Amino acid sequence: MKNYNQPRREQRQMVVAAAQAEGLEVVPEGGSLFTMDVSLIQDGNSTVEHNIPLEHFYDDLVSLWAQSKTNYTPTLVVTYGGPAGDPYWRAHSEVWKHPLLVKHVPPAQLEAQNVRREIGPEEVYVDAESAREAKKLADRGVQVSIGAHGQQAGLGPHWEMWSFVRGGWSPIEALRAGTIMPATSLGYQKDVGSLEVGKLADLVVLDADPTVDIRNSDKVYRVMLGGRLYDPTTMDEVVTGTRKRGTYWWEGTGGGGYGAAQTVGNGSTDGD
């Protein structure tokens, strides 16, 4: 259940109590309000969505949080406090030329959103700062997850992981924040989040090693969903079947839809 900025603490507490009685998770919007964020932790919410608006997490906050069962989705692409991950990665990469996006996003839209880039000094971007502070929590056992926020379909989850590494996380730690951490945080770890016998056959196959360079995480060779394997450049099924993606609306008349392209998601817990 997404609890979006209920203004009074007793309202938020009632939502948590009702959800817990039904065995539901509550993922509340942090809203860039420090005092509300602390009460969300104290009152037993499942997560805090969006970053705590502090430049530094001192031990009082870290100790309180580590003793709770509340997890954290800082959502680095829209970090509060300054230019965030989304403008950083748009400014520092040629999004409109991305080999997978050009296959699945209307070209005019892709160019309009990304060609005219603005850039600032490296030190003004705050995504790395937020990731740095989140690592203090992860090191104390809090499940810290990516939260791509719908900023750029196809790249947002990768930008999140890349920003975690900018903030001092190792590539493998960032990959955990995009896989097993959100699965565990939301109670899905029995089904997804890692490659294990008995879990759902949902996986991404890369042709470069992201543990060497986290920027390799978007070098996608194949995607498997529910045991069916897809070519990400075409979204046609390969090896496991012969299903073909329908025609996109900008490609002309004839097919109706997105076919398999609609089925590939990400590990984000923040779906504003």
- The pairs formed by 56-61 with CB atoms below 8 angstroms and a separation of 24 or more are 56/133, 57/133, 57/136, 57/137
Q: Is the pLDDT of residue 254 over 80?
A: no
Give the pLDDT band of residue 258 (cuts 50, 70, 90): very low
Whole-number pLDDT of residue 32: 87
Q: Is the pLDDT of residue 69 over 60?
A: yes
Q: How many domains does the chain have?
A: 1
Q: Collect all residues with Cβ–Cβ distance below 8 Å to 89 and sequence separation of at least 6.
A: 77, 95, 155, 159, 162, 163
> Can you tell me the mean pLDDT for 235-248?
96
Q: Is residue 69 part of a domain?
A: yes
DSSP 27: E
Q: Is residue 142 part of a domain?
A: yes
Q: Is residue 41 part of a domain?
A: no
Q: Is residue 33 part of a domain?
A: no
Whole-number pLDDT of residue 5: 87
In which domain, by residue range, is 85 found?
A: 50-263
Q: Is residue 136 part of a domain?
A: yes
- How far are the Cα atoms of 78, 233, 269 from residue 135, in angstroms, in the given order? 18, 34, 17
Q: Is the pLDDT of residue 260 over 90?
A: no
> Can you tell me the mean pLDDT for 205-225?
97
Q: Is the pLDDT of residue 267 over 90?
A: no
Whole-number pLDDT of residue 58: 97
Give the model confidence (pLDDT) of 78-129 as tens digits.
999 999 999 999 999 999 999 999 999 999 999 999 999 999 999 999 999 9
Whole-number pLDDT of residue 270: 56
Mean pLDDT of the chain: 91
Q: Is the pLDDT of residue 262 over 60?
A: no
> Can you tell me the mean pLDDT for 153-182?
97
Q: Is residue 65 part of a domain?
A: yes
Q: Is the pLDDT of residue 35 over 70?
A: yes
Q: Is residue 22 part of a domain?
A: no
Give the pLDDT band of residue 168 (cuts 50, 70, 90): very high
CA–CA dist 76, 149 (Å, integer) = 9
> Can you tell me the mean pLDDT for 10-32?
94
Q: Is residue 64 part of a domain?
A: yes
CA–CA dist 40, 31 (Å, integer) = 11
